[in-house]
Amino acid sequence: MTGRTGRTGRTGRTGRTGRTGRSGLSDRGDPTSFADLDHVGASSTPLLSDALIAARGGVVGYWSTDDITDGSLAIKTGKSWSAFRKLAPEVRAGVLDSEVMDGFSFDRMMSKIPAPDPLTRQDFEKVRRAADLRADRLNEIYAQQKDMMSFFGALFNASGARFDRTIEFIDALLRLCIPVEMRCKYEFGRARPVEIAPEVMPIIQTPGHGSYPSGHAVESMAIASALEHFSEEGSGPKIGPAARAMARRIAFNRVVAGVHYESDNAGGEILGEKLFKYVRKKAKSADDTPLALLYEKALEEWR
């Protein structure tokens, strides 16, 4: 599953955030786009490198370093938004991840979500009834395997670059969600529906990890919590209720598909909201750190 690889340097489940392949330059449909060109913030080819050798010889000629003084060699960086935004997207992602994970305790976070109750016949009865919706929800189920953010993006005008910092903040939040939910799935070790009842016959591939908590529930509720917070702080429409309804629909679609129980979603919702609150608290309590700067820029997009 490939996601915003041009933006974050990551592949995999970050594709759930949508906006696939955005390079940060301009869209390929734009007549002024540089997205098809090499070397303009992208990779090079041997042919282009050979051409640049010839061009340098014709333009620069002999280069004398006499005009460079020792005092001009200092490179000014520092903790500023200007310095952070100049980093490559994958480098920014790494810097944010290191800050988010600094001091994070998996055990403490896991203690905040309830352990799943033993499975009962009622759990499977709910899966059976949900299967009646498969034909109606099929397109959603397939799309949401890789992209959840497009469904949330339909709740506000996320076109162009107007909410890029919000999306980058959500990306960082989701990169925390994934390892935490995987650790929880391992610790709780709940069997998937088809592992107990073959009659479930899921319509998508059952993932190779535990059922509780639902990862889609964790991530969709984390996104909804972030959008609710930003819209509440902003001057536009308040999209919190709609975002939460969307998160619950996305999570329930996994029950419809036959890969989760409804009770998986309850724990996922709790964990997703708590992970957002953790990242928000870390951003608000910091001073001029990359996460704090990004959070402030995201807030500005909603004001």
Secondary structure of the chain in HEC code, one letter for each residue: CCCCHHHHCCCCHHHHHCCCCCCCCCCCCCCCCCCCCCCCCCCCCHHHHHHHHHHHHHHCCCCCCCCCCHHHHCCCCCCCHHHHHCCCHHHHHHHHHHHHHCCCCHHHHHCCCCCCCCCCHHHHHHHHHHHHHHHHHHHHHHHHCCCCHHHHHCCCCCCCCCCHHHHHHHHHHHHHHHHHHHHHHHHHCCCCHHHHCHHHCCCCCCCCCCCCCCHHHHHHHHHHHHHHHHHHHCCCCCCHHHHHHHHHHHHHHHHHHCCCCHHHHHHHHHHHHHHHHHHHHHHHHCCCCHHHHHHHHHHHHHC
Q: Return the pLDDT at 45.
A: 83
Average pLDDT, the chain: 87
Higher pLDDT, 107 or 44: 107
Per-domain residue ranges of the chain: 5-59, 81-302
**pLDDT above 60 for 151:** yes
**pLDDT tens-place string over residues 86-112:** 898 999 999 999 999 999 999 999 999
The predicted-structure confidence for 108-150, as pLDDT tens digits, reads as follows 999 999 999 999 999 999 999 999 999 999 999 999 999 999 9
At residue 25, does pLDDT exceed 70? no
pLDDT value, residue 75:
59
- Check whether 57 has a pLDDT greater than 80: yes
Mean pLDDT of 264-281: 97
pTM for this entry: 0.82
214 or 286: which leads in pLDDT: 214
pLDDT at 31 (0 to 100): 45
Task: State the average pLDDT over residues 202-220.
Answer: 97
Output the pLDDT for position 66: 82
pLDDT, residue 164, reads: 95
Q: How much is the pLDDT for 257? A: 98
Answer whether CATH 1.20.144.10 is correct for domain 81-302. yes
Read off the pLDDT band of 201 (50, 70, 90): very high
Average pLDDT over residues 193-207: 97
Q: How does residue 38 score in pLDDT terms, banded at 50, 70 and 90?
A: low
Is the model more confident about 186 or about 45? 186
